[in-house]
């Protein structure tokens, strides 16, 4: 390994970059744990369907207003549920991207 002028192993800049990377990695892990525990709430149909999803994109709760349940129009209910789940999933994705961007200073780092 190359020695710097002070007799150490890695040059100073490389050592600082490694420390910064390790710090960012720890912050990313902490942010991911916080995201996993966060609950995202989304509604559709004026609040007739409500979805609670965690940061792992797991559906935690589903609420359906009984007044919109129409046996003759099941398709509408299905569409509302799909729209609500997809919106919640997008909310999680947007928040994850925002957190990564904050931690990386907007740099696009492959794999993050």
pLDDT given for residue 88 in this prediction: 96
**pLDDT tens by residue, 48-99:** 999 999 999 999 999 999 999 999 999 999 999 999 999 999 999 999 888 8
In this prediction, residue 108 carries a pLDDT of: 64
What is the per-residue pLDDT for 82? 96
pTM: 0.69
| Residue 43: predicted pLDDT | 96
As a whole number, the mean pLDDT across the chain is: 85
SS3 of the chain: the string is: CCCCCCCCCCCHHHHHHHHHHHHHHHHHHHHHHHHHHCEEEEEECCCCEEEEEECCCCEEEEEECHHHCCCCCHHHHHHHHHHHHHHHHHHHHHHHHHHHHHHHCCCCCCCC
Q: Does residue 47 register a pLDDT over 90?
A: yes
Look at residue 19 in the predicted model and tell me its pLDDT. 86
Q: Domain map of the chain by residue range?
A: 12-104
Write the CATH number of the domain with boundaries 12-104: 3.30.1310.10
pLDDT value of residue 69: 93
Assess whether pLDDT exceeds 60 at residue 103: yes
The contacts of residue 71 (CB under 8 Å, 6+ apart) are none
């Amino acid at each position: 390994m190359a020695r710097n002028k002070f007799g150490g192993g890695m040059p100073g800049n490389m050592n600082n970059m490694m420390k910064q990377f390790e710090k960012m990695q720890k912050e990313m892990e902490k942010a991911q744990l916080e995201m996993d525990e966060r609950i995202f709430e989304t509604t559709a149909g004026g609040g007739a369907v409500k979805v609670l999803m965690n940061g792992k994109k797991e559906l935690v709760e589903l609420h359906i207003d009984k007044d919109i349940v129409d046996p003759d129009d099941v398709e509408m209910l299905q569409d509302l549920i799909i729209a609500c789940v997809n919106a919640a999933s997008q909310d999680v994705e947007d928040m994850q991207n925002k957190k990564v961007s904050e931690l990386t200073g907007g740099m696009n780092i492959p794999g993050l």
